[in-house]
Amino acid sequence: MSGFIPLIRFSLLFAITPILISTSGCAYHHSKSKNLTNTHRIPYPSIDIGLGEKLQPNENILAAQIAEQIGKSIRQKYTAGHALRDAHPKAHGCVRAEFHVSKSLPSNLAKGVFIPDKSYSAWIRFSNASGDVTQADNKKDARGMAIKILGVNGRKILENDDQAMTQDFIMINHPVFFVNEPQRYLSFIEDVNSKSMLKKLQIPFTLGLQGTINAVKASNSKISNPIQARYWSMVPYQLGLGADRQAVKYSARPCIPNKVAIPNKPSHDFLREALRKNLETSDACMEFLIQPRTTSKMLVEDSMTEWKEDKAPFYQIATIHIPKQIFDTPEQNEFCENLSFTPWHALPEHRPLGTINRLRKVIYENISTIRHEMNAVPRQEPQ
């Protein structure tokens, strides 16, 4: 196992947890006991036995403990009024988009927001995964794509935002996560946040062989432009309600792949520059894909194993049109930094599935509250 240690940049390992760690996050000065009380007020999700969900021991307690560990690290890292996201703090850009559902969508996929020939306005935030906002874009790292669809009618499943008119989809440019068990993830967070180098060197053993391999692969990518990468949800979701509901995963990819080389001497923020130059002169297009589960052997509780495309194909169900625009303005950047993304901003037809998603409900909610309270800005969904 010692051979993995040079491969793992521990800051990146902490950063590549967009599924678990909040896409919002930072600090306020409440005591730990009060914060734990806050996390326990967040209702823990029930499970869908019919789709294969299964609670792990003390899952809700471990979710609160993970949220508190992350919250503690955020309070130590940032000062009031300057709180950034704990993961994905460095954005390449937050852009306006149109999410258009395919007209000829088959009935088994036409659920929730996927109404044939329906168009929605949307915001999309592209980002590095590393928690280090100063990291140069040419460093190997996982990359994130968070979509917020607007104008979505119907009551949502997140209790504190059940009247919101938004639906979020959160993805990263790697198909699998690096942990399945809450206890293992809590131990990982404790190792990462420890001041002891011995504890940090223990991380590969905490994650285990497969978890370490997944983490290294996820954080080992370089891209030339955020809209030229492919992204995956990594974890499953429900599609539909009632007897015909099913488990699915999501993905997004460029409509026309264009393998532009990374510059020989890239600037510190070359991914933002590439996105800005692209959208100053032309529109961009991405496909939104869905992968229905084809066998019960594709476990909703296993986020570390890929659903192979030759066994469970992806189908394009929508087109994401990103119009030519000037997005890199102080006003738009500030607006987007105040947004919160969570897969629990969702209709019941798109309910998140599996342990990792259940943990995210508590973690995202708690850390989003922390960041907005610290920055003294309202936490609200856009209209």
167-216 per-position pLDDT tens digit: 999 999 999 999 999 999 999 989 988 888 998 899 999 999 999 999 99
The predicted pLDDT at position 264 comes to: 87
Determine contact, residues 150/123, Cβ cutoff 8 Å: yes
Determine contact, residues 150/383, Cβ cutoff 8 Å: yes
Share of the chain above pLDDT 90, in %: 70
pLDDT above 70 (res 226): yes
Is the entire prediction scored with pTM above 0.75?
Answer: yes
| pLDDT (mean) for 46-71 | 94
The full set of domains in the chain, from first to last, is 58-375 (2.40.180.10)
* 169 φ, ψ (degrees, to nearest 5): -130, 125
| pLDDT (mean) for 292-320 | 97
| pLDDT (mean) for 352-370 | 93
The predicted pLDDT at position 94 comes to: 95
Least confident range from 16-25, 103-112, 138-147: namely: 16-25
In whole angstroms, what is the distance from residue 12 CA to residue 14 CA? 5
Label residue 42 by pLDDT band (50, 70, 90): confident
Q: Which residue has the tokens 């990462």?
A: 192
In whole angstroms, what is the distance from residue 120 CA to residue 297 CA? 35
Segment of 5-9, 37-41, 75-79, 186-190 carrying the highest mean pLDDT: 186-190
What angle in degrees, to the nearest 10, is found between the helix axes of 182-193 and 59-77?
Answer: 20
Copy the structure tokens of residue 79.
């000062």
Determine contact, residues 141/12, Cβ cutoff 8 Å: yes
Q: What is the DSSP string of 232-275?
A: E--S-EEESSGGG-EEEEEEEEESS---PPPPSS--TTHHHHHH
What angle in degrees, to the nearest 10, is found between the helix axes of 355-375 and 32-40?
Answer: 130
Label residue 40 by pLDDT band (50, 70, 90): low
Copy the structure tokens of residue 286.
């991405």
